[in-house]
Amino acid sequence: MLAPNLFSVPYRHKKEFVRPHDKYNIAIALITTAMARIMLYDYMEKIAKEKDCKLLYTDTDSCFYLHRRGQAPPFRVGEMLGMMDREYGDWNIVAFYTGGCKQYAMKMKHKKNGEIKYIVKCRGCWDKVDSPLDFNQFKKMVEAYGEEQEPVKLERTHFQPNWRQGELQAVLKLGGMHQYMTKE
């Protein structure tokens, strides 16, 4: 910080990083993400201060909290920028387990037809039919925290650019081992 309203952000241009356009500005990107964190903290604070509300889990863009059935949320809900939205508005969350950042599992029941639905998220992996990590397995692992457990090997594919070679690589990650497949 050079002065109360003047900041200096040093950086170097590198050939391997592509600039999206001429109007790119690192300071705006930094301020945007900082403001998003501040807004999330404000939501967390409102939940924590509300009577009969308990904050269960937060991520970069979401809050899971417990409140009495029929109780209004401690903040405005909507679809405008900066507002929280009810992602699962037609569902009641029956059970919620978290193992830490970006790791959670939910059992939900549809409000109208009673259908049961399970969601498991684990650091970029998601529930699939053939995944060894389902709701019950995740629940067991969270409840056995601190005890000796067998690791669950998850398989996931994500794409990452290789700027130096001008390629896009599909990376299959399986239990700590990486297999690279190149697609030009």
Structure tokens at 129: 């039919």
Q: Are residues 128 and 184 in the same domain?
A: no
Q: Are 137 and 124 contacting, i.e. CB atoms less than 8 angstroms apart?
A: no
Which residues are CB-contacts of 1 (< 8 A; sequence separation ≥ 6)? 7, 8
Q: Are residues 82 and 2 in the same domain?
A: yes
- CA Rg, the chain, in Å? 21
The answer, yes or no, to whether residue 138 has pLDDT greater than 80, is yes
Q: Are residues 49 and 126 in the same domain?
A: no
Express each pLDDT in 86-119 by its tens digit: 888 899 999 999 988 888 899 999 999 999 999 8
Q: Are residues 105 and 175 in the same domain?
A: no
Place 20 in a pLDDT band, splitting at 50, 70 and 90.
low
The answer, yes or no, to whether residue 171 has pLDDT greater than 70, is no
Structure tokens at 49: 């201060």
Q: Are residues 99 and 165 in the same domain?
A: no
- To the nearest whole number, what is the mean pLDDT of the chain? 78
pTM (2 d.p.): 0.65
Q: Are 172 and 164 contacting, i.e. CB atoms less than 8 angstroms apart?
A: no
Range with lowest mean pLDDT among 25-29, 30-34, 161-165: 161-165
Long-range contacts of 154-158 (CB under 8 A, 24+ apart): 154/122, 154/125, 155/125, 155/131, 156/124, 156/125, 158/124
| pLDDT given at position 115 | 96
Place 158 in a pLDDT band, splitting at 50, 70 and 90.
low
Q: Are residues 32 and 11 in the same domain?
A: yes
Could you tell me which residue, 92 or 175, shows the higher pLDDT? Answer: 92
Q: Are residues 11 and 80 in the same domain?
A: yes
Structural domain for 34, as ranges: 1-86
Q: Give the integer Cα–Cα distance in Å for 86 and 121.
A: 18
Q: Are residues 5 and 52 in the same domain?
A: yes
| pLDDT given at position 122 | 78
Q: Are residues 28 and 60 in the same domain?
A: yes
Across residues 125-137, what is the average pLDDT? Answer: 66
Q: Are residues 142 and 184 in the same domain?
A: no
| pLDDT given at position 48 | 93
Place 25 in a pLDDT band, splitting at 50, 70 and 90.
confident
The answer, yes or no, to whether residue 79 has pLDDT greater than 60, is yes
The answer, yes or no, to whether residue 43 has pLDDT greater than 60, is yes
Express each pLDDT in 112-123 by its tens digit: 999 999 988 877
